[in-house]
């Protein structure tokens, strides 16, 4: 039986993270924290899939730039598992606006764009990564991106020390 504090969450390395060669750095941060990758795939997404993934933003003025951004290249999707994984991942990722992200977070270390600049240039905030906002979003996003048969259960070496 899985403990109730063990969660799964979705993480996406967005096209800017792929093109900049940051996949290894991103994965290392999560694995160093003791999170386990239980699913992974890379794919190009189209506008229809973008609308499904970002459905809560469809009516917002920035949606068009967000759609252009997420469909501009391949996206690496991962399902991470661990104790309170949603919150832990959000801390590692940092603030959505890279300018506000603390040093030591993925966005704080690899991006610096702010909302004002994005608005002025009519571009998306290139912030490297997406992480599910809460456990409900995580469950919905995981179902959107992965089939259940693509998620795996296994024991990591040393897991008794990190779980």
Extents of the domains making up the chain: 6-148
Cα-based distances in Å from 22 to 13, 15, 25, 154, 156: 8, 10, 5, 26, 24
* Domain covering 6-148, topology: Alpha-Beta Plaits (3.30.70)
pLDDT at 119 > cutoff 60 = yes
Q: Read off the pLDDT of residues 69-115 as tens digits, 9 standing for 90 and up.
A: 999 999 999 999 999 999 999 999 999 888 899 999 999 999 988 77
- pLDDT for residue 150: 97
pLDDT at 124 > cutoff 80 = yes
Which residues are catalytically annotated? 130
């Amino acid at each position: 039986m899985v403990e109730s504090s063990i969660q799964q969450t979705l993480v996406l390395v967005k096209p800017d993270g792929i093109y900049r060669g940051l996949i290894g750095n991103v994965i290392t941060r999560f694995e160093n924290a003791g999170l386990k990758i239980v699913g992974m795939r890379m794919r190009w997404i189209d506008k229809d899939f973008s609308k499904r993934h970002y459905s809560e933003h469809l009516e917002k003025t920035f949606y068009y730039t967000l759609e252009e951004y997420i469909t501009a290249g391949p996206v690496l999707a991962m399902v991470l598992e661990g104790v309170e994984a949603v919150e832990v991942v959000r801390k590692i990722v940092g603030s959505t606006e890279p300018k506000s992200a603390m040093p030591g977070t993925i966005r704080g270390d690899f991006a610096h764009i702010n909302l004002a600049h994005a608005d002025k240039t009519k571009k998306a905030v290139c912030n490297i990564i997406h992480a599910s906002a809460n456990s409900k979003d995580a469950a919905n996003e995981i179902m959107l991106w992965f089939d259940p048969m693509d998620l795996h259960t296994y024991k990591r070496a040393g897991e008794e020390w990190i779980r």
